[in-house]
Amino acid sequence: MWQDITLQDVLIVSTLMFFSGVYGFLTRRNLITMLMSVELMLNAVNINFVAFNYFLHPENMHGMFFALFVVVIAAAEASVAIAIIIGIYRRFKSINIEDVSNMKY
Amino acid sequence: MMSITFHQAVFYFFSAIIVIFSILTVTSKRILRAATFLLFVLLGTAAFYFILNYAFMGALQITLYAGGIVVLIIFSILLTSHVGERFEPIGWGKMIASALVSLIGAGFTLYVLLNADFIPTQAPLPDASVKNIGTALLSYERNGFVLPFEVVSLLLLAAIVGAIVIARKEPHDTENPNNE
Amino acid sequence: MNAFEYTFLIPFVPLLGFLIIIFNFNRFPKKLTAVLATGFIGFTFVVSIYTAWQYFFQMGPVNGVYPKFIGFDFEWLKLGDHLSVHMGTLIDQASVMMLIVVTTVSLMVHIYSIGYMHDDRGFNRFFAFLQLFSFSMLSLVMATNVFQIYIFWELVGVSSFLLIGFYYEKPSAVAASKKAFIVTRFADLFFLLGILLLSFHVGTFDFISLTNPENFESFNLSGYALFGLSIPALALILIFIGGAGKSAMFPLHIWLPDAMEGPSPVSALIHAATMVVAGVYLVARLFANYALMAPEALALVGYVGAFTSLFAAVIAVTQIDFKRVLAFSTISQIGYMMAGLGVSHYGGEEGLGYMASMFHLFTHAMFKALLFLGAGAVIHAVHTNSIREMGGLRKYMKTTHITFLIATLAIAGFPGLSGFFSKDEIITAAYQSNPLVYYALLVVAGLTAFYMFRLYFLVFWNTEPHYHLKPHDPGKAMLIPLIILALLSILTGYIPFGQFISSDGQPLHTHLHLDMAVISTLVSFTGIALAWMLYKKPSDMPQRLIASASTLYRWAYNKFYIDEVYLFVTRNIIFAYISRPIAWFDRHIVDGTMNAIGWVTVTTSHKIKGLQSGQLQKYAFAFVSAVLVISALLVYYLLNN
């Protein structure tokens, strides 16, 4: 089934999704929206894993498990990132990335 | 004109949702809308998993991402921003540079992708039932994943503790928020 | 292996004492320090006496020759399969004799210092340094090899430096300690060169095999020579320069008079009795090599010794600082010993000079220590070093007076006292081999008697200045060493020294040479009588004599301007033409290079620090762009291969 969809089709979608994430990460100034961009990129990668697994090496579902662990780790990352964002907000009264530039020369 | 099968129609529909809402997520001027668009993208991704016959993965995507992370993001938005707050416009230079880099990257990746020869497998499709996945997760034999499973459980515990520690309000911080 | 294993205690115990005191010198009460230090050195003294008794009387000569023992030995530094440096204790005639000298004088000085240093803040520090010195000196005399002797040679130099500069608040003391250190260190450089040259050709550091004449055949001594000297002569002359630095031979004598800035007990111990004779001891150690391998080097030793002796005696006549007179006297007497070695030959009756020199070393240690301790007592009582401000002290300091008189008679060679016997032997040895040295030594004998009695009369007789406080004899702790040393100054002359010390280990039968004795006695009586006439009662005769020989007097009074020559050479020649260009090079070229490197780094950092903007998105932009470029390159590469 689904023989009428090719791997390339899925990969094109994930590529577009990934680079929207890159664009958001480079342009957004709000830390939360930057985090959202990161989530977009993660999801694009996950789709790739699952698609490669499905179309190329379905035997042991390695790609799916990989994606599964990525999802779990992404959840952990999101919780810590939001904790950091709230900490930054409390400290600087802002979550604008340009205000958080203490780590410079 | 090529005829389009039902499957392809469904696939293209969700593809369109994902691509459009991805772009909207990163360009929307209102933060809460961006979060909503992100939710649509995540749901579209879940639909992809269903289309590819990985039901468990799709369910996980919906519960964890759509149900968990997006809610978390919305909570934090509500904590730190006014609803309906609009972003200041981005500088043209920065926008163009970023768009250029993203477009070149996308174009380059697509170029590589479309020129690659992927050999589709003839192997039978896996049985992605919840039972199989659960067995594989706790199996310590070949193709078992018990070690990463346990490691990830530790990571989650550390993330919970870490998040609490970082976000906890320290009593003296409130008086002097900007002490160097 | 042997019966002398326990001799490691002799240096070890003072080392222990040094460590205990130096780590507690703020904590220990003075009494505890005094008891500890004196107890340790007393123990060492007893062990040394026992060693001497065992060596000379219990064992005695084997087949008519005194054997040499390695009492204790361990490998200290392994430099390779064939080369290692050992530390140990060598027991032979000379080292056992020196053990007795060092421990006796050291013990006396320790006891004396309890009284002398009683009110000094640095009491504990002083005793710690005394212990350090005793340790170093004892290890030096018992050294089993050239390297060990060199190491402890430097260590006694350090102790001497520390003790000369003991009153470090006084700029003159600091200058004197630096001078002593630099001059002796300069000489030690030659010593080290000599050691390296000698051991390179001989192939051993060890004294026993180095000085055994039977081995001389096997030494590889061929090789080019410098200044027309053979290799052993050159090496031994270099070693002698080291010894000359330590023993204050001309022209390296300039540090010793200044070293009198240290406390008087230090002058007695280090700068009269023990350390300054280390040079004599060193030449005696290698005497077989000097006498058999390089007679020309030994002759040099003799001439330098005789000249220094005469030179220092002339200066001593004119000095007015109490301790400086004694310092020049010490230089003169060490010159005597060197001359005694220089005129000696190896073995048998011909080795009289060697034995006489050791004998004189022994007796000189006793009476010169006594003189310095007596000087300390006098200075303690009248609070000045200038003999012009002293006089008539015999009435106030009876015991000090008597003991000082005994020592003065002994050094003047008065018949029946120790100095008479040892000096007589040296003069006899010189008469038998070298008339030039003989006449020089005879003149020195007369001069010695004269300047010592000049000192004696000026201090204890002559006019009595007005003393603010009435001078009095010091306390018991200071008097007892004076009395013991006075007894030793009388009695040591009667030791049949040839029975114990000789150049080749065979006992030497000596007898008084009556003709020599008469001549030298006459000479010293002349000196004493002259001093009596000039200085016993106040008179204007000395002034008139000075006026009649004013140029000579002025030169001698200014120590023949040797110090000024040194100053000229160092300041106007070495500093101006060598040190200053080097300093310029260092400051501008070496430092300049370093500064330039630093400047370039700092400037570059300032220019590029803007890259570290702290703006996360700029970093991300750079990162993404770089990843794209690298991927593009990679793909291009893969497609083309």
> Quick check: is A102 in a domain?
no
Report yes or no: B87 at the A interface, CB cutoff 8 Å: yes
Which pLDDT score, from 0 to 100, does residue C225 have?
63
Q: Which of residues 560-619 of C touch A (CB under 8 A)?
A: 609-610, 612-617
- Of the candidates B97, B98, B112, which has its C-beta nearest C635's C-beta? B112
**Which among A36, A47, A66 is the top mutation candidate for probing chain B, defined by the most B β-carbons within 10 Å of its own β-carbon?**
A36
Q: Do A104 and C612 touch (CB under 8 A)?
A: yes
pLDDT of residue B100: 92
A98 → chain C, closest CA residue? C615
CB spacing of C615 vs A22 below 8 angstroms: no
Q: What is the DSSP string of C179-192?
A: HHHHHHHHHHHHHH
**How far apart, in whole angstroms, are the C-alpha atoms of residue C14 and residue C32?**
15
**Which residue type sits at B132?**
N
Query: In what helix (H) or strand (E) does residue C84 lie, and over which residues does it extend?
Result: strand C84-91
The structure tokens 């240690």 sit at C365
The one-letter amino acid code at A86 reads I
DSSP character at residue B89? P
At A96, phi and psi to the nearest 5?
-80, 125
CA distance A31 to chain C (A): 11
Low-confidence ranges of chain B (pLDDT < 70): 1-3, 83-84, 170-180
Contact between B19 and A51 using a beta-carbon 8 Å cutoff: no
Per-residue pLDDT tens for C511-549? 767 788 888 888 888 888 888 888 887 777 777 877 787
Residue-by-residue DSSP string for C388-453: GG---GGGT-HHHHHHHHHHHHHHHT-TTSHHHHHHHHHHHHHHHH-HHHHHHHHHHHHHHHHHHH
Q: Nearest CB to A104: which of C614, C617, C620?
A: C614
Task: Tell me the count of A-C CB pairs closer than 8 A.
Answer: 29
Nearest Cβ partner for B108 among C617, C621, C632: C632
Contact B5 A4 (CB under 8 A): yes
Q: Do C613 and A104 touch (CB under 8 A)?
A: yes
Number of domains making up chain A = 1
Residues C70-110 pLDDT 10s: 888 888 888 777 778 888 888 888 888 999 999 999 999 99
A72: in domain = yes
Ranges of each domain in chain C: 146-557, 563-639
Judged by CB atoms closer than 8 Å, whether chains meet at B41 and A40 is answered as yes
Assign residue A15 the CATH number of its domain. 1.10.287.3510
pLDDT tens, residue by residue, C216-263: 777 766 666 666 677 888 888 999 999 898 888 888 888 888 888 888
ipTM score assigned to the predicted complex: 0.89
Answer whether C614 sits within 8 Å of A101, measured CB to CB: yes
Cβ–Cβ below 8 Å for A98 and C615: yes
Q: Cβ contacts (< 8 Å) between C622 and chain A: which residues?
A: none
In which band, very low, low, confident or very high, does the pLDDT at C116 lie, cut at 50, 70 and 90? confident
Count of other CB atoms within 10 angstroms of residue C286: 27
Residue that is written with structure tokens 């303690």 in the block: C380
Of C615, C616, C624, the CB nearest to A22: C624
Residue A15 in contact with partner chain C when CB distance is under 8 A: no
Query: Contacts of residue B105 in chain C, CB cutoff 8 Å?
Result: 624, 628
Q: Is residue A15 part of a domain?
A: yes
Residue A17 lies in domain: 7-95
Q: What average pLDDT score do residues C347-367 get?
A: 86
Q: Which 8-state DSSP code applies to residue C75?
A: E
C206 phi and psi angles, rounded to 5 deg: -70, 130
Taking one residue from B and the other from C, the number of pairs with CB-CB distance under 8 angstroms is 15
**CA–centroid distance for B163 within its chain:** 20
